[in-house]
Amino acid sequence: MHDRWPGMTLPEDYIGCYESTSGVLKSEECLRAYQQLAKSHGADIIVNSEVRKIVAHSNGVTIKTDEEIFHSESLVVAVGAWAPKILAMLDLDLPLEPIRKTFAWFHANEKLYNHNNFPAFTFDTSDGTYYGIPSINGSGLKIGRHDGGKRINPDGCIEGFGELDEDEGDLMRFLGQYMPADQKMKYGKTCIYPMTPDEHFIVDKHPYYPHIAIAAGFSGHGFKFSSVMGEILSDLIISGTSKEDISLFSINRF
């Protein structure tokens, strides 16, 4: 690993696993592509419109926003960190914990950390689990902490990056130990992971209303699976079943 990526400084007893087909998804471009595809299949996309109430009936659902009331035969609920609030409207109380997470971009020596010569990575260390992506078009090296974090209310006031001492401290400590080549922080951000106790997703039909499908608890690693999750969820509400084995994600395990 030292020979292949001289930007890494690793203890002698570390081992690495290289996935040659791995990469980085440009998430905003992915979302734009999904929206365009949905529209081309007849979907209406309504943005900035909060769902205030959902009422489940035996043969359909009623959904209220501030502007409109919708009636539907079926429903997919995928509301990220807000799942506990929305699922409570559907009589479900699942062990989902919204956790504040931090990540930041660092000025990087492009010879060492550019995407042409450095991989996306995750590090399982005795001080925590960290992940990162190389500098892409001069973006800088991105580093985040995957484990730990503080439980928060997603509708409450969430401390910005740097308001807690450990925000920058954690990332600097990781870099200092494993990628020490003169890194200075550009800027940091926070986001929310909705965590399940076993860190596996919840993707299933509602236990009392089979015409409602639920996708929740992606525990910080769901984006790369968005396309297959979309396929599974549409199959669940159209035919009631999925050709994929989704037993790992069942609601009943909680």
Ligand X SMILES: Cc1cc2nc3c(=O)[nH]c(=O)nc-3n(C[C@H](O)[C@H](O)[C@H](O)COP(=O)(O)OP(=O)(O)OC[C@H]3O[C@@H](n4cnc5c(N)ncnc54)[C@H](O)[C@@H]3O)c2cc1C
Does 80 interact with ligand X (rule: CB under 6 A)?
yes
Nearer to ligand X, 7 or 132 (CB): 132
Per DSSP (E only), the strands in the chain are 51-57, 60-65, 69-72, 75-77, 97-107, 121-125, 128-133, 141-145, 150-151, 184-195, 202-205, 212-216
CA dist., res. 250 & res. 205, Å (int): 8
Tell me how far, at minimum, the Cβ of 188 lies from ligand X, in Å.
Answer: 11
44 lies in the binding site for ligand X (CB under 6 A): no
Measured distance CA(147)–CA(170) in Å, rounded? 11
The residues near 158 (Cβ < 8 Å, ≥ 6 apart) are 100, 152, 190, 192
What is the per-residue binding string for ligand X in 97-116, x denoting contact by CB under 6 A? ----x-x-------------
191 binds ligand X (CB under 6 A): yes
Residue 76 interacts with ligand X (CB under 6 A): yes or no: no
Q: Is 220 in the site for ligand X (CB under 6 A)?
A: yes
- Given the complex with ligand X, which of 59 and 189 has the nearer CB atom? 189
Could you give the dihedral angle defined by the CA atoms of residues 214, 236, 224 and 150, in that order, rounded to the nearest 10 degrees?
Answer: 10
DSSP string for residues in 20-52: TT-----HHHHHHHHHHHHHHTT-----S--EE
Among the candidate windows 3-11, 158-166, 187-195, 203-211, which touches ligand X by CB under 6 A?
187-195
Taking a C-beta distance cutoff of 8 angstroms, is the pair 175, 91 a contact?
A: no
Name the minimum Å distance from CB 220 to ligand X: 5
By CB under 6 A, the count of residues binding ligand X is 20
Among residues 56, 168, 221, 254, which is the contact residue for ligand X, using CB under 6 A? Answer: 221
> What letter represents residue 159's amino acid?
E
Binding-site member from 106, 123, 174, 193 for ligand X (CB under 6 A): 193
Q: Measured from the CB of residue 109, what is the shortest distance to ligand X in angstroms?
A: 23
Residues 113-172 that bind ligand X (CB under 6 A): 144
- CA 13, CA 178: separation in Å to the nearest integer? 13
Mapping DSSP to helix (H, G, I), strand (E, B) and coil, where does residue 214 land? strand
**Position with the least CB separation from ligand X:** 80
Catalog residues that contact ligand X under the rule CB under 6 A.
Answer: 50-51, 78-80, 82, 86, 101, 103, 144, 191-193, 215, 218, 220-224
